[in-house]
Amino acid sequence: MTRLVLYKAPDVPEILPDSAIQEYFEIRLLDPVSGSSDRELSAFSGYLCGWFFFREQRELFRKLKVVEGSVLIIVDDNCPTEILNDPLVFNSLCGDDPDILLRSVKCLEKTLRLQREYLKANNLNNELLSIGIALSAERDNNKLLNDILYKIRQITRADAGSLYLIEKIDGTGEQNLLFKIAHNDSNPSDFTEFRMSLNTKSIAGYVAVTSKILNIPDVYQIAESEPYNFNKSYDVATEYSSRSMLTVPMVDHLENIIGVIQLINRKKSFSTILETMEDVVKYVEPFDREDENIVLSLASQAAVSLENNILYNEIETLFEGFVAASVKAIESRDPTTSGHSSRVAGYSVAVARAINDKNDGPFGGIMFTDDQLKEFRYAGLLHDFGKVGVREAVLVKAKKLYPGQLELLKMRFAYIRKCAELEYALNQDEQKYQDEIREIDEALSIISASDEPSMNIENPASSLEEYHGRIYTAPDGSIGTWLTDYELELLSINKGSLTASEREEIESHVVHSQDFLQNIPWTSSLKGLPGIARGHHERLDGTGYPDGIGARDLSLQSRIMAVADIYDALTANDRPYKKALSSDIALEIIREEAEANHLDGDIVDIFIKSRIYETGTENQEI
């Protein structure tokens, strides 16, 4: 009876000397692959019986390809339990059958085969899972398509491959096949997109129309009876040699064909480069059924990823259109501010990018991500959207009086003048008439001058009060004043064209902006947008609006936008209520605002030193 027999394959763990087995064996290596002679690895106490069985059965080992695994032992009834329970024991058999070694080896071969299949399937599943995760995370369509093709080629060891997309022709209901991506490891060449008719004459077209898989061992041996044929032009032009080809449809979740993946020349090793025809003959093999299943699965997964990406891009395009429409709605209420929102967004993003380039100083540790830059751009474009909630008459008010009020005043003074002329006709008092006409004309002149937001006349307030006290008899017999209470209030504005209540209404646009923006279900990467827009009129010293918060509570993005907003408001085209300032004067003003602790001085420095003011809207795209 064979008491103990040990077989050690090449990959037995290094920890074997620490195993309980070593107390009972002399360990040797039989290499059935190379057919080399027995090589002694280590020697331990104990003895080995039956080693001659291994020598006699060497050809059997070679035939069964038992080259993996760890330890196989044959034991008798007295074998210590610690050996049978040793984690390194691959298999154990007990008995005195003279064929026990043969049966043991066959058992080992079957077990190893199952183990190899399991490991292969497990590795494939892990690889497919990682590919799925990678594809679902990619948002760039061109990169996604390249990744899809590369990963499928890698897993099938394909030397070359192409990806086609089905493209609808607008207004016709017809479709084309767009040759979108091409890879070739052995023969890289320039690639140009082109379109071809969607029919069954080409291999890719046949798969796209029928949704059938085509696995062709040799494209030069396609039967003439097939409706499709192989286009040899690429091989001829580049001196490449196509042989095996696998073409699979890309099917989305609705079972619609959205494209085709075509793989060429399956190699024994993915890293092999096919330099000659001899290499093609030696290393290229047909794609098998397993490749078909894998590629079909990946192609469907890729189709869903591509469809999701297309949908994501459509949503982004839709949102961009919504933002553009919102900006247009803002500017349509005040055409004189056209372009302001886009310029503020451009300046703001340019400052943020300049901060990203700083490795030291106050912004040395700050880095805006692409998502944050996109959030910042949208905040800039929409920062004034709340103006749609402000009365248009207040929003576009260029003078102290509203449009039409000055004309009404002029009509009133024309009537008062006619009354003086009538009195003269009745009384013929020339001097009194001339004095009254002079007073009326002078009053109208002072009122017209007072209507300008920036007036330069000596002490107009007392004159306005006097006109407010002068009376006249209206055509209906009622008594009226030259200036009404409301007209006096408006004309008495010391600075600008707005009363205190009108200014509050204008300033409320910031709150309206946030209220509007908070109603949009922003993604997690854009959720800070409403707060950024709300803070663009705050000041570092807490004297801004709407919340009067200071530097400690004011976000960096809001501080950046404040600088961009003020600079553009100063330098924008002439508006009815102000003249455009030169860039030099505007820069000096924002410096003064920084010194007054209204604006962030470090941001103003970057805005000026990096010459952000020269960029306009050049850097607003993300």
pLDDT tens digits for range 257-284: 888 999 999 999 999 999 999 999 999 9
pLDDT value at 36 more than 70: no
Mean pLDDT (whole number) for 497-513? 86
| Model pLDDT for residues 342-364, shown as the tens digit of each residue | 999 999 999 999 999 998 889 98
Model confidence at 92: pLDDT above 60: no
Average pLDDT, the chain: 79
Show the tokens assigned to 493. 């504005």
Q: Which residue has the higher pLDDT, 137 or 50?
A: 137
Q: With respect to residue 620, please indicate whether it lies within any of the assigned structural domains.
A: no
| Predicted pLDDT of residue 576 | 61
Q: Is the pLDDT of residue 106 over 80?
A: no
Instruction: Please tell me whether residues 469 and 587 are part of one structural domain.
Output: no
What is the share, in percent, of the chain residues with pLDDT greater than 90?
36
291 and 161 share a domain?
Answer: yes
pLDDT of residue 309: 73
Instruction: Identify the CATH number of the domain in which residue 209 sits.
Output: 3.30.450.40
**DSSP per residue, 227-284:** S-B---HHHHHHT-----EEEEEEE-TTS-EEEEEEEEEEESSTT----SHHHHHHHE
Residue 123 falls within a domain, yes or no?
A: no
Number of structural domains found in the chain: 4
Is pLDDT of 37 > 50? no
Which of the four pLDDT bands, split at 50, 70 and 90, describes residue 168?
A: confident
Output the pLDDT for position 54. 45
Residue carrying structure tokens 């069985």: 53
pLDDT tens-digit map of 55-81:
454 454 445 444 433 445 555 556 666
Q: Which of 24-33, 318-327, 395-404, 467-476 has the lowest mean pLDDT?
A: 24-33
Lowest average pLDDT, out of 19-23, 128-132, 516-520, 535-539, goes to 19-23
- Picking from 278, 372, 311, the residue whose alpha carbon sits closest to that of residue 560 is 372
Same domain, residue pair 381 and 412: no
What is the rounded distance in angstroms from the CA atom of residue 493 to the CA atom of residue 471? Answer: 23
Q: What's the pLDDT band for 19 if we cut at 50, 70, 90?
A: low
Q: Give yes or no: residues 471 and 517 share one domain.
A: no
Task: Answer yes or no: is pLDDT of 86 > 60.
Answer: yes
Residue 77: its pLDDT value, please? 56
- Do 161 and 254 lie in one domain? The reply is yes
Return the CATH number at 354.
1.10.3210.10
Whether the ω angle into residue 530 lies within 30 degrees of 0, i.e. cis, is no
Nearest to 1 by CA among 86, 93, 108, 105: 93
> Residue 326's pLDDT is what?
86
Tell me if 135 is assigned to some domain: no
pLDDT of residue 53: 44
pLDDT at 480 over 70: yes
Q: Is the pLDDT of residue 517 over 50?
A: yes
Higher pLDDT, 485 or 310: 485
The answer to whether position 160 is within a domain reads: yes
Closest CA to 347 of 598, 592, 590: 590
Cα 246 to chain center, whole Å? 33
- The pLDDT confidence band at residue 298, using thresholds 50, 70 and 90, is confident
Position 31 pLDDT exceeds 50: no
Same domain, 182 and 296: yes
Element (H, E) at 251: strand 245-251
- 173 and 261 in a single domain? The answer is yes
Other C-beta atoms closer than 10 Å to the C-beta of 335 total 8
Give the mean pLDDT of 533-548.
Answer: 92
Decide which of 465, 497, 529 is a domain's last residue: 497
Residue 132 lies in a domain: no
**Does residue 217 carry a pLDDT above 90?**
yes
Q: Is the peptide bond before 17 cis (omega within 30 degrees of 0)?
A: no
Indicate if 493 and 514 belong to the same structural domain. Answer: no
Tell me, yes or no, whether 170 lies in a domain. yes
Q: CA 267 to CA 180: how far, in whole Å?
A: 24
- Does this model's pTM top 0.75? My answer is no
- Give the pLDDT band (50/70/90) at residue 395: confident
- Identify the weakest region by mean pLDDT among 1-15, 41-55, 403-417, 579-593: 41-55
One domain, residues 340 and 232: no
> Which token pair is 485?
């209470």
| Domain identity same for 267 and 346 | no
Out of 438, 470, 497, a domain closes at 497
Q: Are 253 and 369 found together in one domain?
A: no
453 located within any domain: yes
Percent of the chain with pLDDT over 70: 75
Q: Residue-wise over 554-568: b if at least 16 C-beta within 10 A, else e? A: bbbbbbbbbbbbbbb
Strand, helix or coil for residue 409? helix
**Range from 109-113, 125-129, 252-256, 530-534 carrying the lowest mean pLDDT:** 109-113
Residue 107 domain-assigned (yes or no): yes
Domain boundary among 70, 89, 116: 116
When pLDDT is cut at 50, 70 and 90, the band that residue 380 belongs to is very high
Q: Is residue 532 a contact partner of residue 557, using CB atoms and an 8 Å limit?
A: yes
Same domain, 356 and 409: no
Q: What does the pLDDT look like over 233-266, one tens digit per residue?
A: 888 888 899 999 999 998 887 788 888 999 999 9
Q: Minimal CA–CA distance to 517: which of 336, 431, 389?
A: 389
User: Residue 429 belongs to what domain range?
Assistant: 405-497
More confident residue, 333 or 594: 594
Report how far residue 370's alpha carbon sits from residue 410's, in angstroms, rounded to the nearest whole number. 58
Q: How confident is the model at residue 374 (pLDDT cuts 50, 70, 90)?
A: very high
